[in-house]
Amino acid sequence: MWRFVIRRCGQALVTLLLLSAIVFFMFRLLPADPTAAMVDAALSPEQIAELKAEFGLDKPLAVQYGLYLKNILLKGDFGTSFFYKQPALKILGDKILNTLILSLAAILVAYTVGSILGALMAWYRGSAGEVAGIVVGLVFRAAPEFWVGMVFVMLFAYGLGWLPHSGMREAGYVAESLAAKYLSLDFLRHLILPATVAALHMLSTPMLLLRNAMLEVRREEYVELAHAKGLPLRRIIFRHAARNAMLPVVTSLATAIGRSVGGMVLVEYVFSWPGLGREIVLAATRYDFPVAQAAFLMIAGLIMVMNILADLLYGYLDPRIVYK
């Protein structure tokens, strides 16, 4: 199993490396001034000279890329934000956790609720509830996340006043430890709406997949056999069949993670959730290239980590997989 993990991590690193190259060249080949990516024209000549030396901006692009990578891998230096005048990593550091928590919460809700609904729909085949479930699921998949976000804010935050309309915490909070910051009721209240909006968007996939899989499973021979032996149908399905039916659901998790974290940009924007997604929008608006580059790489990195975890989950569910 460990060989599998190492191999997957290796793959992820290679992909990240290639991605960093793509991003690097994108930022340098597209704007008019190639040095604009790292050097803020507003700096003093001495500072510009210093930065140029550090990133080798007078050397060929390939060498620059090497220096860029070296700075990231050895020093954790993603460049200095043009806007904040601070290291990009410092700006983005705690945002990673915020996005991770929101994504995990959304995926958790989507997949657990979605799976349960899918199973129920398979069970109550042909009922009005099943049709309603399909339609509702599809509607939320069709509706853009940001729009659902706006509507929910309208209804639940302003209309009913049950939940906060934006942000991650109330202003003026006092929090000593990381745990106190994230495990507070205030934080959870702020988490509910954005996580729900994101979850609703993803819900239909696991729901329909599980439903289809369960319906197919019902027809399988071993189910009939067990039923003939006298075991209650419900127990058969939920104990034996569900586990296998989960496999396609977990497979879909990989794509879902990618779309969720990437799409989290929209939810973060609507709810002013201080995460990587919102930061990349702000950075792009401000032409703050170092931060935009860094945020992009971090988002990609986050997706990869979560994909590896999803693969592990898949492996746990289906031990038949041979880890080469």
Partner 1 sequence: MVKRLFVWTLLTAVLLSGCAGQGRVTQDQPVSQPEDTPPVAAEPPDPARRIPTLTFLTTTPEYDAPRYEAALYIKRAMAELGVDLDVRPTDQKVVTDTSRTAPWEWDIAAFSWGNNADRVDPGFYIWDQFHSSNIKDQGNNRVGYSNPEYDRIADAQKRAMDQEERRALVFQAQESLARDVAMFPLWYNDLDQVYNKKRLEGVVSQGGVGLFNWITMTGVRIKTGENILRVAHRQDLDHLNPLSTVQATDRQILRFIYDSLLRWDENNQLIPGAAESWNIIDDTTVEFRLRPGQKFHDGHPLTAEDVAFTWEWGKQVGFGTEDPYVQGVERVEVVDELTLRFHLIQPDSSIASSGFTAVPILPKHIWESQEDPRSLTNEQPIGSGPFKLAYWRRGEEIRLDAVKDHYLQPKVDAIIQIVYANPDALLGAMELGQADMINPGISPEQKAALEKNPDMEIVRTVGIGYGYVAVNMRRQPWSDLAFRQAMAYAINFEELAEVVKQGTARAGAPGMVISPTNKYYYNENALIYNYDPAKARQILRDAGYEWDQDGRLYYPKQ
Partner 2 sequence: MLRQIWQHLRRDPLGLTGVGLLTFFVLVAIFAPVIAPYDPEAILRLDGEIARLHPPSREFWFGTTNMGRDIFSGVVLGSRIALKVGILAALLVTFVGTNVGLIAGYYGGIVDTLLMRLVDLLYGIPFIPFVIVLVSLLKPSVTNIILAVSALTWRSVARIVRSQVLTLSQRPFVKAARVAGASDLRIIYRHILPNVLPIAMLEMSFVVSWAIVSEASVSFIGFGDPTVPSWGKLLNGAFVAGAVRFAPWWVAFPGLAIVLLVLAVFFITRSLETVINPRLKGGE
Binding-site ranges for partner 1 (CB under 8 A)? 41-44, 47, 83-86, 91, 153, 157-158, 165-167, 170-172, 272, 274, 282, 285-287
Q: What DSSP string describes 13-52?
A: HHHHHHHHHHHHHHHHHSSS-GGGGT--TTS-HHHHHHHH
> Which pair of tokens denotes residue 212?
């289809």
Which parts of 78-139 are beta strand (E)?
Answer: none
Calculate the dihedral angle through the C-alpha atoms of 199, 99, 293, 81, rounding to the nearest 10 degrees.
140
Calculate the dihedral angle through the C-alpha atoms of 98, 99, 101, 107, rounding to the nearest 10 degrees.
160
Distance (Å, whole) CA 44 – CA 256: 46
117 touches partner 2 by CB under 8 A: no
Q: Which of 34, 262, 274, 315 binds partner 2 (CB under 8 A)?
A: 262
Choices 66-74, 222-230, 244-252, 278-286 (CB under 8 A): range interacting with partner 2: 278-286
Distance (Å, whole) CA 265 – CA 95: 12
What residues pair up with 80 in beta bridges, in sequence order? 87
End-to-end CA gap in the chain: 9
Smaller CB separation from partner 2, 135 or 178: 135
When CB distances are held under 5 to 8 angstroms depending on the partner's kind, the choice from partner 1, partner 2, none that residue 174 binds is none
225 touches partner 2 by CB under 8 A: no
Distance (Å, whole) CA 226 – CA 134: 30
Angle at 251 between CA 250 and CA 252, to 5 degrees: 90
**Integer Rg of the chain from CA:** 24
Give the shortest CB-154-to-partner 1 separation in angstroms. 9
Smaller CB separation from partner 2, 107 or 270: 270
173 touches partner 2 by CB under 8 A: no
Phi, psi of 80, deg, nearest 5:
-105, 135
13 touches partner 2 by CB under 8 A: no
209 touches partner 2 by CB under 8 A: no
129 touches partner 2 by CB under 8 A: no
Smaller CB separation from partner 2, 123 or 182: 123
When CB distances are held under 5 to 8 angstroms depending on the partner's kind, the choice from partner 2, partner 1, none that residue 26 binds is partner 2
Q: At what angle do helices 185-219 and 221-228 cross, to 10 degrees?
A: 80
Distance (Å, whole) CA 125 – CA 119: 10
From 40, 30, 20, 34, select the one nearest 283 (Cα to Cα). 40
26 touches partner 2 by CB under 8 A: yes
Distance (Å, whole) CA 259 – CA 303: 9
Give the shortest CB-280-to-partner 2 separation in angstroms. 5
Smaller CB separation from partner 2, 191 or 291: 291
321 touches partner 2 by CB under 8 A: no
When CB distances are held under 5 to 8 angstroms depending on the partner's kind, the choice from partner 1, partner 2, none that residue 86 binds is partner 1
Q: Which of 48, 231, 284, 312 binds partner 2 (CB under 8 A)?
A: 284
Q: List interacting residues with partner 2 (CB under 8 A).
A: 15-16, 18-19, 22-23, 26-27, 30-31, 138-139, 141-147, 150-151, 153-154, 158, 212, 215-216, 258-259, 261-263, 265-266, 269-270, 277, 280-281, 284-285, 287, 292, 295-296, 299-300, 303-304
